[in-house]
Amino acid sequence: MTDQKPDVKPAAGGTVQQVSLKLRDQQNNEIEFKVKSTTKFQKIAKAYADKKGVEVNSLRFNLDGDRIDIQSEQTVADLGLEDGDSIDVTTFQVGGRAL
């Protein structure tokens, strides 16, 4: 049995496009990703976390103030992301106590 990639098919009537996205952290450092419009956002989030050396679950992704759910199967096109869009990334911390 050989591993084959499934054919990338655009949504009904759509076309697959190359999209450049900028993910910006709280210090205004940006990482740019060039992806297809059919790429799942969770894949981009994982790649960003890997580059930063953090767990993907410790990050929150926001587009124009709206949180992007990285657990969903939404693609770049599903989210309405366009070439040149910037996504804000914040670190989410749970718990802790004052000393």
pLDDT band at 11 (very low <50, low <70, confident <90, very high): very low
Exposed / middle / buried, residue 95 (Cβ in 10 Å: 0-12, 13-18, 19+)? exposed
Domain 18-91 has CATH 3.40.50.2000: no
Spell out the domain ranges in the chain.
Answer: 18-91
pLDDT band at 94 (very low <50, low <70, confident <90, very high): low
The pTM of this model reads 0.78
What pLDDT does 89 receive? Answer: 97
What pLDDT does 92 receive? Answer: 78
- Rounded to whole angstroms, the Cα distance separating 31 from 22 reads 6
Residues 47-73 have a mean pLDDT of: 94
Residues 54-66 have a mean pLDDT of: 93
